[in-house]
Amino acid sequence: MRTRRIAAISAALLMASGLSLGQASAAPTRATTAPCDDTYTIVVGGTWSRWWNDRFVGNIQQHVGYPDDIPNGAAVRAGVNELNRLVREQRGACPGQHVKMGGYSLGAAVVHVWVSENWRSFDNVNAVLVADPKRQGPPGGNGSTQPFGAFVGAPLAGTDRNFGNVPVKSICDRDYICDESAGPLTYPDNHNKNYDVDFNMDHHNDSAHEQWWNGAWYPW
């Protein structure tokens, strides 16, 4: 019953936007040449955003474009591949440069998966995850909090903290997308309104390894 309810909610959201599960439009990434000094900051927006309108602000060198119309595993995989291409090209040109990556909502899942898959082979990097649908919680626990896990497909499906030695800052504030216990009525208002300060990448340092959950700080 719960799986059917989740599927119905997801299908309704897609129908309301005029989309179907078979559709996805590509959002090409703007090529940016970044200098090798200071931190290279790269960000990934959420569903229905574009790299030119992903809400992130601050000293950002790269906004990632990917097919973000459909919140499913295929979109996340495309985003991970593009993020990986961009950061490795930059690292090849600037071997000693620190990389700070940020993601919101579906984009947070992209960054989350990238870290899980690449922490063994890519160092000097940290991540900021805002409203991460793959967040595992509650803080201090290991329970799944993903409301759409049975419906969206891998690698978006499932929750974990497989970050290895990468410093990760995870932020979730009374939001159904990253905390099922918040309830579906918190979407879309809380999901869209509770993170304004968190979109400023200059607000996050390069070594933060912590959780912010419902306005309170927790260690990992």
Q: What is the CATH number of domain 2-218?
A: 3.40.50.1820
Is the model's pLDDT at 104 over the cut of 90?
Answer: yes
Is the model's pLDDT at 95 over the cut of 80?
Answer: yes
Kindly report the number of other CB atoms within 10 A of residue 7's CB atom.
14
Tell me, what's the pLDDT at 16?
31
According to DSSP, the β-strands at 125-130 and 62-64 are unpaired
The answer to whether the beta carbons of residues 73 and 155 sit under 8 Å apart is yes
Distance (Å, whole) CA 8 – CA 26: 26
More confident residue, 152 or 79: 79
Tell me, what's the pLDDT at 7?
40
Cis peptide before 138 (omega within 30 of 0): yes
Quote the pTM value: 0.86
Is the model's pLDDT at 31 over the cut of 50?
Answer: yes
Distance (Å, whole) CA 15 – CA 20: 7
Greatest C-alpha distance within the chain: 54
Q: Where are the domains of the chain?
A: 2-218
Is the model's pLDDT at 19 over the cut of 70?
Answer: no
Tell me, what's the pLDDT at 194?
96
